[in-house]
Chains A and B, each alone.
Chain A
Amino acid sequence: MLIVLQEAGQPEPEQPAEAPDDAASRESEKLRGAVKTKHDTKKRRLRKKLNAELPAEGELQSAQAQVKERLRLSREDLRQAGGEAADAAAAPATADDEAAGAAAPSTSSPAADAAAGASAKSATAAVAAAGGAPAGKPLTAKALRRKKLEEEQRQQAERLREQAEEAQMYSAAHAALNREDRLTRFDAATAQELIRSRTERMAKMTKMSWEALREKKELTEDEQVSFFANSVWEPDELTAADGTAAAPAAAQPQAGADDEVYVYEGEKVYLHRAVFLAKADESKLYYYPSAASATPVSVEHPVNLAEEGLYVGRRPRVTEGNVLRLQSILTMKADVYESKKGWLGEDGRLRMLPDPLKDVPMRPLVPDDDDDVQGVQAQQQHQEQLRLRQLARSEFRPARRWDSPFASLERETPWQLEVDIGGVQFLAHPLFTREHAAVSRLRQLHRRYARSEKSNFPAYFRDRIAALRREIAKLTQEAARLERSQNKNELVLQDYRNRVDAYRAELSTTRHSKIREEAAHYSLLIDLLNAWREVRDIRQELGFSVTDVRCDIEEAVQSRSEDEQELLAEIRDWTEEHQSAVQAKHQLVQAEYLAQRQLYERRRADFESRRLAMEQSGMATGEFDDEPPPEPQPENVDNFVQQIERLVRLGEDEFGQVTCRRRQPGEPLVRVRLLDNSHVTTPLNDIPEQHRAAEETRRRRMESEFFYTIQIYADDKLVGPTEDVTLSSNFALHFNRIYLVEVVQPPSRIRLQLTEHRRGGFRSAVRTIGFASLPRPDSQTTRAQLNFSEVQFSQTGADAGPAEYEGLIRSRCGWRSDSEGNILAPMLKVYDPQTETYVDPTPDAPKLPRLTEMRDPNDPAFVRLNLNAALGQDPQQQQQQQLTGGYCRLNFFEEEFGFCSAEDLDTDLRFRALIMRDRGDIGAEQLKGAPMPAFASLISKEMVEEPKRETDVSRTRASELQKMRMRYEAKMRYVREQVTEAFNAAKGYRTYEEVIDEAKAVVVDILSLLRPLFSRKRPLKPAREIVSRTPLLSLAMAPITLSVNIIDAIDLPSPNDSKQILKPFVEVTFQGNTLRTATMSGTNPDWNASLELPFRLRNATQKPETISDPLVLKVFNDRTYSRPAEGQQAADVGSVVVQEKHFLGSVSIPFSTVYINEKVQGRLQLRVPDLVTGYGGSGAGDGAARRRPRAPALRVFITLQPHLARPGLLQQAFDTWVRATKNTLSRLADEVAGVMRQMQSNPEAQVEEFLYHPRAFVVSMEVKEVFVSCYLSPTGLAPPAELFSRGQEVTDPQHKKLIIANYVSLVPFVSDASAFPGLIDIWNTCEEFMDYQAGDEEEHAVLLANYLLHLSQGTGTQIYLALGNAVPEGSTAYVVEVDGNDKYVWNPSLGLRFNAMGDRCPLISIDCLISAGGVYINKKPFEGVRVLNYGVTDQNYWLHIEKPNERTFECIQQPINYSGGPVGDSDIANIEYEIEITLRKAISEWRPRIVGYSMRVGYMSTDEILQEVRNTKLHEIGMYVDSSDAVPKVQFSCVVYLHKYPKGVLSIRLNLMALNRR
């Protein structure tokens, strides 16, 4: 310990610290001063306290330790404190010199030594203190705390320093200044060395202090806590930090000292030199507040801008947590946010502006509230202002956008407007006397009079008349000369005449104008004289005058005769002119008359000659009855002359009314001047009557009580009131001042507000008495260029009488121009259509073009402008229209931004190929898996070729029917494209499950675990094995077979020949493969046969749902009998066995049905010909009895082996897309989805097998989602009446229904399910359906339901559209008829009715019932058709979704127009003929031997009918193997009958017969 003390005894610690002092201290002296003075007072106080309780030795040591403690805390600051640290340490030391000296002698020598040791540290502590202060931008609360600690520390340091000083005094003798000279030659190496040595010492000392503490053995709790608990670092780590802390004191901040780690073990000191690997990174790791920037005056209260009169607003509140978080981010990620250190201000808070959306602190424009306003309007204004002011107070305001076409708004000096206010002349004022009022009127009249006098229109018109007359005379002379001359030019002559005419017309109007003007001037004069007379009368009446107006009337005596002469001359001239005009006109008319007359004569002569000829030939003739044209009479001018005379003399018009007063001959010419002469005003003393004098005195006093100011508002912002002006004697206010208004944005208008103030008394009343608006000056207009404009204002009093105040404000407003003549106005940017850019106009540009191009012509606001341009009234605009092509370009730069022109893009093969690939038109197979070639030349043209369009419908020579079919195809193609597009859009939508894989919520698992516990135990229930579904991918590879199980048949027709036994068998045909069952016998055979038909795809990519090949099941009777061979006798041995297949019925199932439904199971009703000759008769031969009682049915089970997964994905995707895009229907859609969820979560319902989609929304032909109820009209649709009036009128409703069902079923069936992979069904309306004559089961069902609805109106029958599952169609649409207890099911595409409860009912389950009022969703689809037994009101079975009563959900069905159709009568004959011929040809080809059938089919195409006939195997009948190979003679008969129903629905009846000779 002693050694340490010895070392510590050296005084050096102070000296090296002082070295860098000079330079740095000068710079930061000011700052330090600020800090110091504040602390000095504290220091002194503390010192006093300390001196009072002088520290004992132990205490000193503990204090030392405490200081050390705090030191550690502030070590970070220390590291950057740098040079300043040292000088800051020195500065307080010198300051405290005296105090230290005083305190020194009292301590004992070892203590002093210890204190001297401490003094070294005190320097460091001071370093910490001073380092903390300049860097005093505490970042966090922690930092603040640290600040406090520093404060304490500093106090400690001071105390210690005193002791150090003391020690210094003692050791001054051997204070070896041997290093001082080296310090003067200060260099880096020395500095480093110094630092190192000092660090070493300090480290040891720290250690020592701890040792000292430990040796003391009795530490107070407080000391321990302050030593340990506040410690962050291990004691041995600490020294390293101290080492680095002192290092930056040198000129080179990252000196070698930094690398050194000092480790102390026990008493011995070992020096390890280690290198920090991540040194550089580490140093960047932390954020240190900059020490260079200015110190705030105080941390808590930086300079208060608001107090200095600046508007600062309030900054938005940020929670402290967020601030702390940000601070910690900024400090922790110091290297990342190096550049973002400026985020925090000097006060440690986030730098931010009051409004985060603005980048300058700014005060909103709020109108001042010092103007007092009255009235309701004013009140509103006031409220508006209040609102604005409140707005201004609120912290957040939307940032204001400067939507202005003006350039360079941001300007250092604002624009300057000059408002020149000349003065105000009152025309009415409450203080007006009668005389004043009269004078005011007089003045106004005189003003007008003076103006009229000045312009002197009568003289102008007089001159004009003279000029015109001269011109006319000249022209007529010229014309006459021309006429006389030999080579007269008709055109020139005509031109002269025309000009003369025009001049004459003008002359006439000018004369009228002259008279009018003269009269106006005269009447004005008269009025003026009257007004003056009034003033004079008032003055005379009162005996004094208060105004200073005098009237000076000059009369110039005119001689009456001269006037008379003038008048006469005028009348004469006018008459002359008129006469010549009339004459000229008459000449014209006369010439025309002559021409007509000539024509007339010629015609007449013609007629006469012809009549003569006819009379000679003895024919009857008529008179020439044309009238000759009337000869025009010259107009009588006498009347007109009289009129003119009256007008000129008396001012009377043609009706004798005096319209204008005229000066009469002999009347003197009067001129009036108004003079302001103060002599006129009677002095108050001279007023004769006493009371009047008093009154006048009071009035004048009142006059002087009022003063007036004009407040200037620029855009409702007060920019300056004028000074107060009092009334002059003639009630005028003279301002005559120019007011400068500085604006940053040009105001839209400038408003002047005249206010009246009344002084005197205690209250000073302020009234606004007038407003005037000045237009905003053009940006090129200076004030000097403008004339004063007078704006009239008036203000009525409380009672709505005459105006209380009225007056004129003379003012003008223009931009200011500076000394160099520059106009201080914002420049309007002008759109130049030629360069299509905005240009700054040059100041001397004549007139700015209008921004027509920016105006949308569809905007009604610009109608007038555009109309003007269109009418050619505005040549400028017209010109611009020509420039811009006459259309509005809203997007100026569209073309300029293109890389190339649109044509180039169109012709570019590669671009087209890219687009097609994007659309999916080009697949991988065309590109062969390779990327798109880089150049267009590498792309084959075929690839990019659009798929061949079908030949234009209208051009082909097809029948109407075919055309219609083509149109349907085209329409469907369009819809398909739309749907495909929707699919492509839908593909982008992914569900959460598709994208994210996450743990399922626990609840579901628990439920599924618990469910088996509570379910019913049925030990005997056979466990089902779920057939694994092959994914679609392996479809091409795996051999797939169609497994057809034919179980049995019932009610097959029995042969008429009772001896025969029916031997039926079934033939199954699919994709050209035919298999048959064994032959059974009886009408209810039981085959139980299982047939496996191979199934193949045409190509690998074909989707199974698009395979349209039907699976046909046909039932035949195997009729085998022996008969004698041709030409042999019956008993002969050579008989042959004849094997005939007699067609009994068939059923056809599309493959897609099997695929989509996965299986077809149930009893299929066979499609049986109407009449099978030889079968079905039960004895009696008539037609009615032959009708089979029950239709034959076949029980089958068809499925695919192995199972294929149902294609449901696309449907879901589409649904998702629909849900995501539709908003209007979303509520309903949600409801439906909810119901479906509810049903699926019902554990009882094994719905998967039954439930398709109880669809509430379907896609219409316009590719729109439509609520399904909208397809049903509440009143139904009327079926064509023609159907019921065939033969006799049908009245039986049941019969009617059958007819209608038949009619509907005859409309061709075209499935669109196969057209849309993924089961998207497009629902057509009935009208579309009938127009296109094509549709599938929904369309049929909808039409039938609508018809039935119409028929069952009024009866109790209810009709529903049922979506459900049927055999064999699978998911389909049926019509359900509920008539009391009877429930029927209609198959709309077959036109058959079934009893719903019967065993033949093809409908297996019902998903939902649809009525016009809404949808009933079946809650128990597994119940089958039985649910119909429970009425739709039963909540347990049906869930009702009501159709919303909104416009969107109105019925979309339109009544069908049955008239007309694509099939004409001639077409009928054609079709009939075609079918018959084709059949005959075909049968002869098929070698037919026919028994005979009668068939009835709808018309689709002849090919289908052929197929139909072929299915009967008609042609095979009679084919047998003959021993002699002879062909038996069979005759066929074939009759085709085609019936046309309304709307082109065709019914074809075929009768095929094979006449087989027995």
Chain B
Amino acid sequence: MACQGLQKGETLASLKTESDGLKKKLEVERGKLNDVELHQVAEKTEVLGALSIKTRRVLKGHGAKVLCMDWCKDKRRLVSSSQVRTSTDLWTREHGVSLPCTWVMACAYAPSGCAVACGGLDNKCSVIPLSLDKDENLAAKKKSVAMHTNYVSGCTFTNSDMQMLTSSGDGTCALWDVESGQLLQSFHGHTADVLSLDLAPSETGNTFVSGGCDRKANVWDMRSGQNIQSFESHESDINCVKYYPSGDAFASASDDATCRFYDLRADREVAVYQKDSIVFGASTVDFSLSGRLLFAGYNDYTINAWDVLKGNRVSILFGHENRVSRVKLSPDGTAICSASWDNTLRIWA
């Protein structure tokens, strides 16, 4: 017994030494590539002029904090959640139907525009098919797909209506078959709640990035379930992660009041978007179409637009009267939608 204990003790010690050694090696390897800073390479890039972005629409109608929203691919409809409201048609200014889904923290439009996924404190993510018939009993058609052991923080359809990715307070992410509800792959590696996920742009292959309360952002291979890259530079919870449009980088928003930019091929952080005057947590980020601008929503009710390459703030968008919980670029890049704890959504263009 004592011998076994000693063996395990030795194995543990040697493994710990190896892991410490590998961590140092990773630092050194990443450091070698830090031959220049992003903003230095971007010195010759033209300076951005003032942006003429302002509020174009204010969508009221939620009776509670709006926690999440997503655009439909048709560029005119939105789904937003606290209680789930959908088909808010921005062009005809028609407010849509309330869907039977409570405690919603995450919502997403299906690529076809024919269904909506929503999930949250019920530990599930459900899919609701949309109908032109407003009297249709949507509650009966609601279907549970994902089952986690803690709240669902994020959900997204993959490239079709058939598969869905979720992130959860149970520390995992999961890939589901929508039709059968079957778990296709689970992703383990985070050591605390996962708060956000984002799918790589389809050209770059089957990966996604997740961020959470363990301050880590992890990149995953969807097929194998393998954690292929990991980034730990934030000083507090990562609330949101979003890929750069080329798929070679991603940005994160954190309670440490910074947003950061990570280059996947150099395998390191290459920019920090921060100011001494910004002391409240950043909850959400999204890029403009070219990737030059990063819009970030904060707990101080503002949205800051950052020059991704040069690192400076280009614009502040004022308007919301409470925390900004989500910002999302419209599919054609013409507008940003923001959701807020002030019970409204705003469209900025």
Q: Specify whether A and B are partners.
A: no
Q: Which residues of A contact B (CB under 8 A)?
A: none
Q: Which residues of B contact A (CB under 8 A)?
A: none
